[in-house]
Structure 1
Amino acid sequence: MQRSRCLTCGYAEVACVCAWVQPMQVPVSVVILQDAQERKCAKSTVPLLQLALPQLEVVAADDDLTVAELKARVQQAPEQWGLVYPTADSQPVEGLAANKDVTRPTAWLLPDGTWKKTRRLLHEHPWLTKITAYSFSQAPVSNYRIRKVPSPSACSTLESVAWVLQQVHHVDPSPLHELQRHFVARWQAYQPDAHQR
């Protein structure tokens, strides 16, 4: 039998998080390039971000038109963008907060999917490598305990956005963390045998 879904947040009614949504306005653009399979994942944190950040933009990686439009925007002013992804030459995002002389990105792009899928996204879209990449040298302990991850230090997409906003733009990420905390708790209560770290 198909689960009833909340018409507002889109999650199953037993996992509805509407009571904990606190919409936030942030001073930068945040764009998610989402793998097609990730869009169907019930554990994805991108829907949480869409609820909390009204200006968030989600680009489906299998939508050639919107990907082309995003590519054109990036190539028009690559210096304004930051790619949140650990690469061989990525810079610590924490360094942007410490160095006031460095120009900070006004738009952040985050690939969304499993580690294998996001690596493929970068391979399929080499224009992404033209953006300065940033990674986390002091990532907080993740509370995203309902999905298998490649390492204990891995963060969900929501946690990654929250860390960037906090470290670089001094935005209080508490509403985002609170929203994910309740989402994880409701998921674990509904499916107690689901994967946990």
Structure 2
Amino acid sequence: MPRIAVITGASRPGSVNKSVAEWVLAQVAGRTDADFELVDIDDFNLPLLDEAYPAAYQNYENPATKSWSAKISEFDGFIFVAHEYNHSAGPVLVNALSYLNAEFNNKAAGFVSYGSMGGARAVEHLRGTLSELQVAHVRNQVMFSLFTDFENFSEFKPTEQSTGTFAPMVDQLVSWAKGFATVR
């Protein structure tokens, strides 16, 4: 059975990112076709990329990088909870992705994003980064608007229309994660 990480994409105090990630985890709780685990980037204390060697070498020197590498290696797929920041993906998530390479190769990813435009631009940029890491990203995407899915821009209250896009994304992700197990 594939293992899927639900990865947070922000660490700023007061961020709604973790509440969205917890919602994702609650939505997949009853599924029997994959195991899902919340992975909070903030738990790894990754400073701005500070490894001496490129990630492709896997010559990690720092304990935080080694811990992050070991965690990501456990999974067959990922759901990235991404917010839009300056018309791109949040810097904490981009930094965390930059630490590794082979640990992501030949795995699948899906996106749950949010922002003023549903986080669409964040995911556009993440797709390019993940392509370079050889992560196959599914087409279906879940997008939440700060205007309709958050009360006072801070309390996550997703609309039925937005939540209806979640199951198709996860179905496709689980299928792809299973398929890529044969490649690895």
TM-score in same-fold range (> 0.5)? no
TM-score w.r.t. structure 1 length? Answer: 0.37
Q: State which structure, 1 or 2, has the greater radius of gyration over its C-alpha atoms.
A: 1
User: Relative to total residues, which structure has the larger strand share, 1 or 2?
Assistant: 2
Higher relative contact order (CA 8 A, sep 6+): 1
